[in-house]
Amino acid sequence: MNKEKQYYVYILFSKYNGTLYVGVTNNLIRRVWEHKNKILKGFTEKYNVDKLGYFEACGDINSAIAREKQLKAGNRKNKLLLIEKMNPSWKDLYYEIIK
């Protein structure tokens, strides 16, 4: 069994083509649940950004943080393209990953 830690870079959205949030975590299910239940105070709580639109796995924390910074520095259009490619119907992927 692979004991290496997995890290995730993710994009949340509020509604179709709505407000976006980019984050990084070592437990995607827990982190999205925290956003959905407003455990994490701040931007996502204020703007109701709690639907998982996109995520990617990274093998180590440094590459995950670098990717998060790259996405945050990028423009909105590129973030929307990532969501559209992985999730063209804009469904909340959280319900796919908890199965």
Tens-digit pLDDT string for the chain (99 aa): 445 689 999 999 999 999 999 999 999 999 999 999 999 899 999 999 999 999 999 999 999 999 999 999 999 999 999 999 999 999 999 999 998
* Cβ-based burial of 98 (10 A; exposed 0-12, middle 13-18, buried ≥19): exposed
Q: Hey, how many other C-beta atoms are within 10 angstroms of the C-beta on 4?
A: 7
CATH architecture of 7-97: 3-Layer(aba) Sandwich (3.40)
Query: Is residue 63 a contact partner of residue 4, using CB atoms and an 8 Å limit?
Result: no
Q: Which of 53, 61, 58 is nearest to 82 (CA)?
A: 53
Extents of the domains making up the chain: 7-97
Q: What pLDDT score does 5 carry? A: 86
